[in-house]
Structure formats: C-alpha cells, structure tokens
Chains A and B, each alone.
Chain A
C-alpha cells in the first residue's frame, strides 16, 4: 500500500497504535509506520483530525503535557475505545479472511 493508508481503516490503525499505550500524534504515526514495516506511511497532518474525531466519539481521551517548553497532546484509549478496537479488529479479520479465500481461489 502506498503513502496514503486506506482512510476507511485509519480508525483501526489509530486505535491499534494506541492499544500499546498512550502517545502523542507524532509517536502514533511513528508506531504505525514502524509496526507496519513502512506499509502505512500516513500523510502526517491529516492524522490529527482523525484523532480529534475519535476523541469526540468517546473512543479516545487526551490531555496536555508540557515537555521542552512546548505543549504536547497525549492520547489514550478509553474503555469504549478498547471495545471498539476489539470489534473493528474482528470485522477486519473476517474481511481479510474472506478476501484471502477469494484471492487464493483465483490465484
């Protein structure tokens, strides 16, 4: 997959990245890039609207910390976020399994 990850699965990527612990936006993007072996190299500035939206939906919580004289917004999964991650992960595995079967049958 190229530089822009599928926007439809961006939420799942962000929730999965934060399942490993709270992090700020830069760290979230780094985690996604590193854990996907570079497959998902997101356009960095457009990740923050997704983080904000997930927070408005109650799936993430955030707070300011001050480091190096600069404010940094740190995000973490909420209980609803962890449930949503479980559900989205299951949906994705079902989709991937079906797609794998389909592609495997026509290979």
Chain B
C-alpha cells in the first residue's frame, strides 16, 4: 500500500478528524479488499455498469471516471460498514449519495457537434462503398441480361439525331437505343464504382479520425439501417415501376436496391447486437452463495 501522507501535508481537518480512507476491511488484508468487493449482486457493481453505459466519453476518460466512482463508492460503503451498517445497506447508501448514473454521466458533459464527425464520416463512407458495390452488381447484371436490362430507356423515349450520332461514335453499328443503353450502362457502372473508391478513401480517413465521445451503443448502426432500408424501399419501387413497363432499365434501381437492402439488414443486426444482454461469466473458483 502506498503511503499517501507526506511531510508537511495534513489529511486531518481542523477538529482532528481524519479523512484517511483505508480500504482494508476488518480482519482482511488491504490488498484483498478490492477483489472481495466485487460481487455479482453488488449494488455498487450494478451502479458502475449503468454509469459506464450512460457515459459519453472517449475510452480513457470513461475508464478514469468509472475508476474514480468505484473507489469513491467502496470507500463510502466501507466507512458506513465500519460505523455498523450492514453491507447491503452501506452499498445502497453509497450509491444514493453519489447520485443517479444519468445525472452523474450528464455532469461529465454530453455530445458535441464535433463528436458526430467520426460516425458521420463512417456512415457516409459506408454509403459510398455501397454505391460502388451496386455498380459492380450492375456490371454483372448487364453481362447476364444485357445493357438494356440495366439502363435501357422506358418505352417512348427518344434522342435527337445529334445525340444518336454521339452514341454511334462509342458503339458503331448499333441502333440508337441500343447504343444509348450501352453508353448509360457504362456510366452507371463507372460513376458508381468511382463513388465506391471515394468511399474507401473516406473509410481510411475514418480510421484515423480521433475517437471522441461515442454515440450510444448501436445508435450509428440504427441510423444506418434506417437510411439503407429506406433507400432500398424507394429503389425497389422504382425498379418495380420499370418492371411493369417491360423491364427496360430495371437493373439500375434493382442493383442499388439489393445492395442497400443487404447493407440495411446488416446494420439492423449490428444495432440489435449492441443491445443483446451479455451473460456475465462466473468468477473462477467462487462457489455460488
């Protein structure tokens, strides 16, 4: 045990009361007291779990806050036990005096706008990567079912002669609508893949952005799920509309809807997993009481 008293430094108040808080419990070596304190049914341990869940702080700061709270609560409980209070009552009183976890966590400060930069960058990056992947899916669809399936025009569409000659330059020997579909298929794939590359670069940036106060567990994933699934729904309706008119150009929306749907489901699972209660492993060697 380190010696906290130094020459010239007094831990005694003017009336002689000592605020020296030894954590050694009666009849128990001090170095065993911390381990003995931690019981699964401890009010203090439950409190610390709640406090950790309420804190919006970077990991190191959160660890410091919880460590100080743990020390304070057990010191209070030990002092009350020494005064004759039973263990359970002492812990409950210590927790009561410390304050509600939500209140204590709030007093350490909440989210600021700059705290959202990292999760916003991450979500944007994932969105762009999803666009890139949909481009690859569109490429595959075009190879299997033809360019008209991906980016063909709806019935009744037409182009000016000047525009048709532009298309003919890229795809000589094809009729105007076929050349247009081929051209637009290339654009769909190229632009989306380019967006995907930007997304990968953003993911790299996300990797190096400083972690500030984190969002509540699963919050970013939940927001991502909502955005992706909403996009999947809208795009699905659009591809359905194309399907009812001969399936020309259906693939552009369908490829995006498929990728958005998969990403949305993955985000939903991630958000749900963040709130699944974890079973606490039994302490090694301790008999059940």
Whether the Cβ atoms of A73 and B68 lie closer than 8 Å is yes
Give the residue among A22, A68, A71 with the most B Cβ atoms within 10 A: A68
Stretch in B5-13, B196-204, B224-232, B260-268 with 4+ CB within 8 Å of A: B5-13
Whether the Cβ atoms of B103 and A46 lie closer than 8 Å is yes
Whether the Cβ atoms of A34 and B35 lie closer than 8 Å is no
A27 with B21: in contact, given A44-B97, A49-B109 (CB under 8 Å)?
yes
Whether the Cβ atoms of B19 and A74 lie closer than 8 Å is no
**Residues in chain B near residue A26, CB distance under 8 A:** 19, 21, 71-72, 75-76
**Residues in chain A near residue B1, CB distance under 8 A:** 67-68
Interface residue B80 (Cβ < 8 Å from any Cβ of A): no
A46 with B99: in contact, given A67-B1, A67-B23 (CB under 8 Å)?
yes
Give the residue among A23, A44, A49, A66 with the most B Cβ atoms within 10 A: A44
**Residues in chain B near residue A66, CB distance under 8 A:** 2
A71 with B71: in contact, given A20-B10, A34-B17 (CB under 8 Å)?
yes
The closest CB in chain B to the CB of A67 belongs to: B1
Kindly identify, within residues 58 to 80 of chain A, every residue whose CB is under 8 Å from any CB belonging to chain B: 65-74
Whether the Cβ atoms of A31 and B19 lie closer than 8 Å is yes
Q: Interface size class for chain B?
A: 35 or more
Interface residue B274 (Cβ < 8 Å from any Cβ of A): no
Complexed CA–CA distance, A24 and B20 (Å): 10
Interface residue B65 (Cβ < 8 Å from any Cβ of A): yes
A residues contacting the other copy or chain, number (CB 8 A): 29
Whether the Cβ atoms of A46 and B104 lie closer than 8 Å is yes
Interface residue A35 (Cβ < 8 Å from any Cβ of B): yes
Interface residue B64 (Cβ < 8 Å from any Cβ of A): yes
- Min CB distance A75 to B, Å, is 10
Whether the Cβ atoms of A52 and B74 lie closer than 8 Å is no
Complexed CA–CA distance, A23 and B11 (Å): 8
**Residues in chain A near residue B34, CB distance under 8 A:** 68-70
User: Which of the residues A21, A65, A68, A73 comes within 8 Å of B31, measured between beta carbons?
Assistant: A68
Complexed CA–CA distance, A43 and B9 (Å): 26
Whether the Cβ atoms of B17 and A65 lie closer than 8 Å is no
Interface residue A45 (Cβ < 8 Å from any Cβ of B): yes
Complexed CA–CA distance, A74 and B19 (Å): 13
Instruction: Please report A residues at the B interface, Cβ cutoff 8 Å.
Output: 20-27, 30-31, 34-35, 43-46, 48-49, 52, 65-74
Instruction: Please report B residues at the A interface, Cβ cutoff 8 Å.
Output: 1-2, 4, 6, 8-11, 13-15, 17, 19-24, 30-35, 37, 64-65, 67-72, 74-76, 97-99, 103-104, 107-109
12 further interface pairs, Cβ-Cβ under 8 Å (given A35-B14, A69-B31, A69-B35): A20-B10, A21-B11, A24-B21, A27-B20, A34-B15, A35-B13, A45-B99, A45-B103, A48-B65, A66-B2, A67-B30, A70-B23
